[in-house]
Every structure is written in structure tokens, then in C-alpha cells.
Amino acid sequence: MSQLLLDVNGLTMRFGGLVAVNGVNLKVKNRQIVSIIGPNGAGKTTVFNCLSGFYIPTEGSVMLKNEQIAGLKDFQISRKGLVRTFQHVRLFQKMTVIENMLVAQHRHLNTNLLSGLFKTPNYRRLERDAMDKAMHWLKEVDLLEFANREAGNLAYGQQRRLEIARCMVTQPELLLLDEPAAGLNPNETKQLDELIIKLRDEHEISVLLIEHDMSLVMGISDHIYVIAQGTPLADGTPDEVKNNPDVIKAYLGEE
Amino acid sequence: MTTNKFYNAIFAAGITFILACLMIGVKLDTEGTTLAVKGATTEQWMWIFGGIGVVFLSQLFSSQIDSLFGKMPKPKLGALLPEEKKMATLKPWLLAALITVMLIWPFMVSRGSVDLATLTLIYIMLGLGLNIVVGLAGLLDLGFVAFYAVGAYTYALLSEYFGMSFWACLPISAGLAALFGFLLGFPVLRLRGDYLAIVTLGFGEIIRILLNNWTAVTGGPNGISGIAKPTLFGLEFTRRAKEEGAETFHQYFDLSYSSSYKVIFLYLIAVLLVIFVVYLINRLMRMPIGRAWEALREDEIACRSLGLNRTAIKLSAFTIGASTAGFAGAFFAARQGFISPESFIFIESAIILAIVVLGGMGSQVGVILAAIVMTILPELAREFSEYRMLLFGLLMVLMMRWRPEGLVPMKRPHLELKQQ
């Protein structure tokens, strides 16, 4: 029996009179890939923003490892092990790939000004560890040869992979991916698919995924939640969701 | 197309005519007790119309002129420098040579030039400080002069009321300026861009007005005079020691008195301070905090999602920048021996910001070069002092036209991964 990692109950987000998310429940267990799907504008990204602390949810509880995280600041949440990517790649474009990886490890480094100025042994050791970890993850996502390139000059698919690697060096337990396959070609999508499965199986983290690419979603998800117009519509295994009449209606409209 | 150009040229010439008439063509002059408006002399009018002609023609034939410029081979600065690998081995030698020259040079030139060089070094310090805030962390600060003022007044007041020495006050000034940076930064750093600029602008004015009106302590508009000069391990650079029995520099070393010792000594202190600041910032840029500043400038949202505390990072940039200004301020007070709120008006902030922008945001070499240009040029163009602001504007326009990224665009000290 795997443990409950993330438990969201009655998550609601209102912007003035507009209810963007209404009573969403989510459960993510350890080492699980869970997907959120739904038509455009359904409020999927808003859910992500609430979970990662970019918005403070109007109502509802967000429990990460039995700890309430709703209302915490974004950086505090990411330090607790919940890290996200973005719908549009957000890299530090002018910095090199390796520097992107080091910035992500900022809080693991010795940021004391004096120890940095005098290069104390502790500072050097942490800096070297960070470098090793960065290299390890670059190898994992197959970007090691581009380590000294400017991040903005990478191909789009590589930028996507770098973004995931950059999240991984922060040592998360739950990774939130917001449309990771958007703009990728079929080949790259397949690589991404393998990468996500590897993250779950080898690195033992859970992944919460927003995605429109149904073949990807159906292929790798352990559990799927469907949201339409901010309200939960259905949830279940890929097969259950695929055959749910409500879901088909939401996507294809009524006959 | 051609008619369009013609109208354009007429328009530009008209604008020039109006501006020139207002700025050069008419003058107010005192005549006894009244003011009288006087026209320009014939010679000046000839110059004005000549200028208008040039504007008209350059607008009319702008495309031809542009293509001519295009044909001109662009000076390639990069080609002048040896390749990167050689550069790395040459760098320490070049630096050593540069420092040696800077240390020997003042003994061979006139007192005036050494004094000017000291002023330049103050602006270099200020530019480097603001460069952290604006260039690296991307926070537009229009009130930087406030921290400069805090540093200067800290030393002036401590020396006047408690008789503390320059060397003891230097870190205190930097610390107090840093504290002010911290206090200001705390509430305002949630603002961004234009809003931050306006608040910092306001803060700069608040400090100046406070200094101006707190007459009981700061002396108000009269300022503080007779601020003690720095000493060399207790040796003064005056003709006679203030205290009975104490020796002055020239007495101790058995030299005849010369006022230029003091000037050279101040210059050397400034050199030391600048070297210290340059080294400090160089290290900072390579440290995690420096990377975080740049990451924050590049993409704030990504930083937040990666667990970086943006308030702490911005505050550190603000505080370190401010402490550099505090250094410069304390030294400025010591050099001048007299300070008043007049020295810390908004135009100073603007000049420091101009140094950073001209130099190339974030680039240290660029900022140093720009500081030199901005302090030495007005001195060279003394005869044109009336038109100083015009020249200033012209320089800005030319820079934006030909080197929009600054004199020496920033080249980041990229961290390289060494392949095994």
C-alpha cells in the first residue's frame, strides 16, 4: 500500500465573481503518475498555481505529506518538495545550461557572503557537490554535451528537458508538469514519455501532469482526473475515463 | 517617398530653428536694475543657421549617409584583443601592470590631474555599486545618491561630534548606508520597474530634504565643513599637527611640506578602495548570490518556483549596492572636507545611472570606462560649460544610435563545465 503524498480537498479559487476552480479533489500517492485533463480554460493551470503557491486558494486544503501547504509562499512550498514547470518554458535564457542547474540548487549551496569571498572548504565542497549533481541530471536528460551553451540557444525540445532537469536537482518528491509535451514532435514526445516513467520508477518521485496529448496521458498515467469549467467531472484509471460518457460529452459535445 | 523625405527634413529643420532660437538666440541680461531680452550676435546667428542647414541636409539625404556609414569598416574591438585562451594567461600580468601604472602615475603629473583622477575613482565606485542593483539584479534605482549622502554624512557627523578617524568611520559609513538600503528595500522591493524607480526617486529626495532641514544636526544648507582628512597611521598631511607634540607626515619622513602629498595620498586611498570594490563584486558575480541576482533579472517566476526567496535576493543586491555608495560617500566627505545637501541632488543619481547605462549594464569594465568618460569629458570641455547638458544629450543620442548595449556590453563570466 503506497502512501498518500498529496491530498487536495475542496480546492476553490475565485477571482472576484469568477469561480475558476470549484471544489477540486486530488489524491497523489507515492510513485504515481497522475494526470489532470480537461478542455481549454477548464482551470487546470489554475489548480497548479494554487498547489505551487502562486495563488492562495480561496477555499480548500492542500496537504503535502500530511502537512497543510495552502497559504504558504511559493518558494516555501517548493522547498517542501513540490516543484513545477510552466506551460511556456521559463529558463534563464542568457545563462548557460550548467548555470541554470546551479541556480536551482541555490538553497543547497553555502550562500554565506564571507565563506564565498574566502572560498572556505565547506563552500568549495558544496559548490562541487552541486556541480556533480547538475552533471548527473544533465546526463539523465541527455544534455551533458550542451552544458556550456546558453540555455536560450537550445532547441525547444532540449529546453523542455532542461526545465525538467532543473526541477529535479531541487530534489522534489512531487513534480508538477504543465503541458510538457506542448510543441514537441512525436519523437520527442516519446522521449518525454520515457523520461517521466523513469522519474517514477528509478527516482521514485510522483508526477502530476497537465497534458492535452491523449496518447501520452493514457499511456503513462496511473490515475486521471478530468476537470471541466473548473469543476471535477470524473476520475479513474485511463480506461475508466476513456469510456466515461460525461468525459466524452465534455470533449466532443453532445450528439 | 522623396516628398515625404523633404517634408521630414523641413520639419526637423523647423524644430532645430525653434530650439536654437530659444536656447541660443535670445538671452536675458541685467541692464541696470531691470532685465532685458537680448538677441544673439550676428556671428551666433550664422552658426545657428549653419546648424539648421546641416540638420536639413542630413535629414534629406539620410539614406545616402546611412549607406555611406554602412560601407565604412566597423572598428572591431574584439579583433584587437588576443584570443580567449591567451587572454586568460595574460590577464594577471595586464592587471598587475595596470595597478602599477595607477600607483606610479600620480607622482609624475600635475596636482590637478591627480585630483580629477580621484573624483573619477569616486564615480567608478558609485557606478560599480549601482551596477549591482541596476545591471545585475535589474532593479531600477533612481535615488542611489541617497546612500552616497548617508555615507558622506555618517563620516562627517561622526568626525565632527565624536572626533572619529576616517578609517574607523569607513566601515561604519558603509554599514549605515547598507542599513538604509535594507530599510528602504524591505517595503519597496515588491514593486517592479517604473514603480520601483519612482519610490527610489522619492527616497533620494527625502534624504536630501531631511539633510537640508535638520539644521540642528546637519547644519542644513550650510553643510558641514572642516571634516578631518584621512591620516596615514596617525600622521596628518597638514603643515602643522593639530595636537601639540604630534608629528605630521612631512616632519616624520623629514621632507619639505608640499600640499600635493595630501592629494596623492587621497588618490592612493581611492585606488585601494576601487580595487577592493572591484575584487568584491568580481567574487560576488561568481558566487551563488551573483547567479541568483541574474536569474532573478532573467525570470522572476521561474526563480520563485525553484525555491529562491526573491525578497532576500533583491534585498541583498540593494544592501550591497548601497554599502558601496556608503564607501564612496565617506571618501567623498574626507576628500572635500566640506559637504552640503547640494552635493546630493537628483542629477547626481542621473549621472551615476548614465554611467551604468553608457558602460553597458552589468559590465564592470564598461562601467569603469564610462565613469572615466563622464568625469573627464566635462573637464576637457570646460569652454563649453554653458552647453554641457547639450553635449551630454548628444553623447547619449550617439550612444543609443551606435552602441545601444553600452561601451563594453556585458560579457558574463560564464561558468564552464570542464569535460573529463
Q: Do B306 and A167 touch (CB under 8 A)?
A: yes
Contacts of A85 in chain B (CB under 8 A): 305
Taking 3-state DSSP, the helix, strand and coil percentages for chain A, each rounded to the nearest 5, stand at: 40, 25, 35
Question: Which residue among B283, B294, B305 sits closest to A83, beta carbon to beta carbon?
Answer: B305
Question: Which residue among B287, B303, B309 sits closest to A116, beta carbon to beta carbon?
Answer: B287
Q: Which amino acid is at A185?
A: N
At residue B413 the predicted structure's pLDDT band, cuts being 50, 70 and 90, is low
CA B115 to chain centre: 16
Contact A14, A61 (CB under 8 A): no
Q: What integer pLDDT is reported at residue B30 of this predicted model? A: 75
Q: What integer pLDDT is reported at residue A1 of this predicted model? A: 43
Name which of A208, A191, A199 is nearest A48 in CA terms.
A208
How far is residue A231's CA from residue A210's CA, in Å, rounded to a whole number? 15
pLDDT above 90: residue B123: yes
How far is residue A23's CA from residue A11's CA, in Å, rounded to a whole number? 5
Q: Where in chain A is the domain with CATH 3.40.50.300?
A: 1-81+172-255
How far is residue A92's CA from residue A79's CA, in Å, rounded to a whole number? 20
Contact B178, A113 (CB under 8 A): no
Contacts of A109 in chain B (CB under 8 A): 288
What DSSP letter does each residue of B38-102 carry, written as one string? EEPPHHHHHHHHHHHHHHHHHHHTHHHHHHHHHHSPPP-HHHHSPPHHHHHHHHHHHHHHHHHHH
Q: Do B307 and A131 touch (CB under 8 A)?
A: no
Contacts of A113 in chain B (CB under 8 A): 284, 287, 289
Whole-Å CA distances, A112 to A118, A122, B275, B287:
10, 11, 22, 10
Tell the residue number behind the cell numbers 479513474, with chain if given.
A236
Residue bearing the bigger pLDDT, B21 or B195: B195
Residue of B nearest to A163 (CA): B302
Please enumerate, as own/partner, the contacts of B195-199 that have beta carbons within 8 Å and a separation of 24 or more.
B196/B139, B196/B140, B196/B141, B197/B140, B197/B141, B197/B142, B198/B142
Non-local (6+) Cβ contacts of B337 within 8 A are B225, B226, B227, B229
Non-local (6+) Cβ contacts of B284 within 8 A are A113, A116, B132, B290, B320
Residue of B nearest to A79 (CA): B307
Residues of chain A with pLDDT under 70: 1-2, 111, 254-255
Give ∠ CA A212-A213-A216 in degrees, rounded to 5. 130
Query: How many H-runs (helices) and E-runs (strands) does chain A carry?
Result: 10, 10
Taking 3-state DSSP, the helix, strand and coil percentages for chain B, each rounded to the nearest 5, stand at: 75, 5, 20
Main-chain dihedrals φ then ψ at residue A234, nearest 5 degrees:
-160, 165
Tell the residue number behind the cell numbers 572548504, with chain if given.
A121
Radius of gyration in angstroms for the set of CA atoms belonging to chain A, rounded to a whole number: 19
- Indicate the average pLDDT of chain B: 83
Contact B65, B11 (CB under 8 A): no
Name which of B182, B139, B117, B142 is nearest B326 in CA terms.
B182
Shortest distance, CA A108 to any CA of chain B (angstroms):
10
Tell the residue number behind the cell numbers 523625405, with chain if given.
B5
Q: In this complex, is the C-beta atom of B280 within 8 Å of any C-beta atom belonging to chain A?
A: yes
Contacts of B306 in chain A (CB under 8 A): 75, 78, 83, 103-104, 106, 166-167, 170
Contacts of B308 in chain A (CB under 8 A): 75, 103, 106-107
How far is residue A62's CA from residue A84's CA, in Å, rounded to a whole number? 15
Contacts of A149 in chain B (CB under 8 A): none
Whole-Å CA distances, B105 to B232, B259, B335, B369, B378:
20, 17, 19, 18, 22
At residue B387 the predicted structure's pLDDT band, cuts being 50, 70 and 90, is confident
Q: In this complex, is the C-beta atom of B182 within 8 Å of any C-beta atom belonging to chain A?
A: no
Contact B295, B303 (CB under 8 A): yes
Shortest distance, CA A116 to any CA of chain B (angstroms):
6
Q: Which three cell numbers stand for residue B249?
A: 607626515
Q: What integer pLDDT is reported at residue B72 of this predicted model? A: 64
Kindly report the pTM of this predicted structure.
0.82
How far is residue B147's CA from residue B134's CA, in Å, rounded to a whole number? 15
Q: What integer pLDDT is reported at residue B416 of this predicted model? A: 63
Main-chain dihedrals φ then ψ at residue A245, nearest 5 degrees:
-60, -35
How far is residue A220's CA from residue B316's CA, in Å, rounded to a whole number? 44
Question: Which residue among B307, B414, B415 sits closest to A78, beta carbon to beta carbon?
Answer: B307
Question: For the domain A1-81+172-255, what is the CATH code?
Answer: 3.40.50.300
Q: In this complex, is the C-beta atom of B190 within 8 Å of any C-beta atom belonging to chain A?
A: no
How far is residue B123's CA from residue B141's CA, in Å, rounded to a whole number? 16
pLDDT above 70: residue B294: yes
Q: In this complex, is the C-beta atom of B342 within 8 Å of any C-beta atom belonging to chain A?
A: no
How far is residue A111's CA from residue B315's CA, in Å, rounded to a whole number? 14
Contact B417, B374 (CB under 8 A): no
3-state DSSP call for residue B232?
strand
Question: Which residue among A84, A106, A148 sits closest to B292, beta carbon to beta carbon?
Answer: A106
Shortest distance, CA A150 to any CA of chain B (angstroms):
9
Name which of B184, B291, B163, B295 is nearest B231 in CA terms.
B163
Name which of B301, B163, B159 is nearest B224 in CA terms.
B159
Non-local (6+) Cβ contacts of B124 within 8 A are B274, B367, B368, B371, B372
Q: Which three cell numbers stand for residue B168?
A: 574607523
Residue bearing the bigger pLDDT, B238 or A4: A4
Shortest distance, CA A255 to any CA of chain B (angstroms):
43
pLDDT tens-digit series, residues A185-242: 988 899 899 999 999 998 889 999 998 888 888 889 999 999 988 888 888 898 888 8
Name which of A237, A211, A212, A243 is nearest A224 in CA terms.
A237
Q: Which three cell numbers stand for residue A110?
A: 553555502
CA A52 to chain centre: 9
Q: What integer pLDDT is reported at residue B240 of this predicted model? A: 67
Contacts of A52 in chain B (CB under 8 A): 305
Contacts of A93 in chain B (CB under 8 A): 298-299
How far is residue B226's CA from residue B337's CA, in Å, rounded to a whole number? 5
Q: What integer pLDDT is reported at residue B43 of this predicted model? A: 80
Q: In this complex, is the C-beta atom of B311 within 8 Å of any C-beta atom belonging to chain A?
A: no
Query: How many H-runs (helices) and E-runs (strands) does chain B carry?
Result: 18, 4
**Residues counted in chain B:** 420
Question: Which residue among B284, B304, B417 sits closest to A148, beta carbon to beta carbon?
Answer: B417
Spans of all domains in chain B: 2-67, 92-402
Contact B213, B359 (CB under 8 A): no
Contacts of A148 in chain B (CB under 8 A): 414, 416-417
Which residues on neighbouring strands pair with residue B304, listed in sequence order? none
Residue of B nearest to A128 (CA): B417
Give mean pLDDT, residues B254-279: 84
Ranges A246-255, B72-81, B180-189, most confident: B180-189
Contacts of A164 in chain B (CB under 8 A): none
CB atoms within 10 A of CB B112: 10
Q: What integer pLDDT is reported at residue A225 of this predicted model? A: 92
At residue B242 the predicted structure's pLDDT band, cuts being 50, 70 and 90, is low
Shortest distance, CA A125 to any CA of chain B (angstroms):
13
pLDDT above 60: residue B268: yes
The sign one gets for the Cα dihedral B54, B56, B61, B63 is positive
Q: CA torsion A203→A209→A214→A218, rounded to 10°?
A: 50
Q: Do B308 and A107 touch (CB under 8 A)?
A: yes
Q: In this complex, is the C-beta atom of B84 within 8 Å of any C-beta atom belonging to chain A?
A: no
Contacts of B307 in chain A (CB under 8 A): 75, 78-79, 83, 106-107, 170
Whole-Å CA distances, B172 to A171, B6, B181:
41, 62, 14
* H-type alpha helices, B131-192: 145-162, 166-188
Question: Which residue among A90, A116, A127 sits closest to B299, beta carbon to beta carbon?
Answer: A90
What does DSSP assign to residue B381?
T
What does DSSP assign to residue A144?
G
- Edge-to-edge strand ranges of the sheet holding A174-178: A82-84, A174-178, A206-210, A33-37, A223-228, A231-236
What does DSSP assign to residue B230?
P
Which residues on neighbouring strands pair with residue A177, listed in sequence order? A209
Domain B92-402, classified CATH 1.10.3470, yes or no: yes
**Residues counted in chain A:** 255
How far is residue A166's CA from residue A99's CA, in Å, rounded to a whole number? 10
Q: Which of B289, B306, B363, B420 is most worth mutating to test chain A (most A CB atoms within 10 A of its CB)?
A: B306
Which residues on neighbouring strands pair with residue B27, listed in sequence order? B38
pLDDT tens-digit series, residues B17-44: 888 877 777 777 777 777 777 777 778 7
